[in-house]
Structure 1
Amino acid sequence: MPENDRLRNIRKETLSSAWYTLYRYDFEYRRSDGRWESRQREVYDRGNGAAVLLYDASRRKVLLTRQFRMPTFVNHNPDGLLTEVCAGLLDGADPEAAIRKEILEETGYRVEQLEKILEAYSSPGAVTEILHYYLAAYHPGQKEAEGGGVPEETEDIELLEFGFEEILEKVRNGEIRDAKTLILIQYAALFGPLRPVAREIQ
């Protein structure tokens, strides 16, 4: 691992590799005042991922998913269910190829065009993951499969369509609690297909 003028003596230890990989890093960090100090951080590596907001401009709809998320259940989400955009890990694939695969598996739709809008770290205090964010138009004629996820991967995904006004209201009242979903909806409201509706309801 390369060092730089603010890092030195980096040591890595694997703490767990049961599902993804948890590392502990010991290192020295040079503070802004020039002093070196010893630090230790745990870093969770689950790979990078991609997420997409599917929208149907003609029907003024967005397509989201809902599934059980154990980490939310243990942190005050009573049923563990979370409403989210379609998303998944890259597993070594190109981000666009990976998200197309996830869209088909989770929703059953085969979309034509993907618009990449940004990349961002998901939780930089502890997780290495970078998410690639997309917008994609869909319509009922693109439905090729049932969707719902891959049973062999223990996926059990419900599909939910919301009107443009309805999803913006859910953001406003705090019903959408997944960060990647909030990012994509807010981007679409500022710069994308939800912008005209967002202006109407302000």
Structure 2
Amino acid sequence: MPDDHIRIHQVETLSDDWFLLKKTTFDYRRRDGSWQRQTRETYDRGNGATILLYNRARRTVLLVRQFRFPTYGNGHDGFLIETAAGLLDRASPEERIKAEVEEETGYRVGEVRKVFEAFMSPGSVTERLYFFVAEYDAASRASEGGGIAEEGEDIEVLELPLERALQMIASGEIADGKTIMLLQYAALHLL
């Protein structure tokens, strides 16, 4: 995409602690050709990957439950039911998601299939999320999972019938965007 629609004037780092928060002042060329000065804060947490493990024969999915402080601060109990996910940390999306799913769920998968990519909160967060699916069975279990305690992870593994997981979206028990997207993908294309 040509850069003839943006002129950056100033970039200020507001925080470089957990992740990087910047304030950028720029001119944006509008569709009518006029230029408009704008200021935006962007939160750069790196790119990530997520995966839905499914068992076609049993019509089940593997999800995880963990505490997410930002949701707690926004009126939720903080315990989200999610698909396994993690930041890429300089690895390829495929490599990282294989390691992440084993850390979180205890299941080892050989082949993963990318189904799409998405920006989850493009108004302020730079993260691009890579979405994967893979089949699992009892023989895929390599450990108990649960995440890495030293990284603050305390993850519960849940095996649910797909129909129950879809009902949990409607009831609000599943409120995580990436998980909702992958469960709907599974309902339409996998199970």
Give the TM bin, normalised by the shorter chain. over 0.9
C-alpha contact (below 8 Å) 2:162/2:187 kept by paired residues? no
| Residue of structure 2 in register with 1:129 after alignment | 127
Residue equivalent to 1:112? 110
User: In the superposition, relative to structure 1, how do residues 3 and 39 fare at CA in structure 2: closer, same or farther (>3 Å)?
Assistant: farther
Q: Spell out, residue by residue over 1:136-192, the C-alpha distance to the aligned partner (whole angstroms, 9 max, x if none).
A: 10111111111000011010000111112211222233321000001111111122x
Deviation at 1:22, TM superposition (A): 0.3
**Alpha-carbon distance in 2 for matches of 1:153, 1:3:** 40
Distance 2:115 2:8 in 1: 37
Which residue number corresponds to residue 47 of structure 1?
Answer: 46
Q: Deviations over 1:39-68 (max 9, x none)?
A: 000000000000000111122110100000
2:73 corresponding residue in structure 1? 74
Query: What is residue 178 of structure 2 aligned with on the other side?
Result: 180
Q: Partner amino acid for 2:142?
A: E
- Correspondence for 1:156: 154
The 3 A distance-change label for structure 1 pair 60 and 3 is closer
Secondary structure of the 1:187 match is: helix
The aligned counterpart of 2:55 is 56
In the superposition, relative to structure 1, how do residues 32 and 54 fare at CA in structure 2: closer, same or farther (>3 Å)? Answer: same
The size of the alignment, in residue pairs, is 191
Q: Which residue of 2 aligns with 1:12?
A: 11
Query: Matched residue of 1:50: which SS?
Result: strand
Partner of 1:38: 37
**Deviation digits for residues 10-50 of structure 1 (CA, Å, limit 9, x no counterpart):** 42111101111001100001112221111000000000000
* C-alpha RMSD of matched pairs (Å): 1.3
Where does residue 93 of structure 1 map in the other structure?
91
Q: Does the 8 Å contact 2:108/2:140 carry over to 1?
A: yes
Indicate conservation of the 8 Å contact 2:118/2:130, yes or no.
Answer: yes
Deviation for aligned residue 1:3 = 7.3
Taking the aligned partners of 1:161 and 1:118, their CA distance within structure 2 comes to 23
Q: Distance in 2 between matches of 1:173 and 1:81?
A: 15
Letter of the structure 1 residue corresponding to residue 180 of structure 2: L
Q: TM-score, normalised by structure 1?
A: 0.91
TM-score by length of 2: 0.96
Q: Distance in 2 between matches of 1:3 and 1:190?
A: 36
Is 2:107–2:141's contact at 8 Å kept on the other side of the alignment?
yes
- Report the equivalent of 1:198: none
Q: Matches of 1:68 and 1:171 in 2, distance apart?
A: 18
> Which structure 1 segments of 5+ residues have no match?
195-202
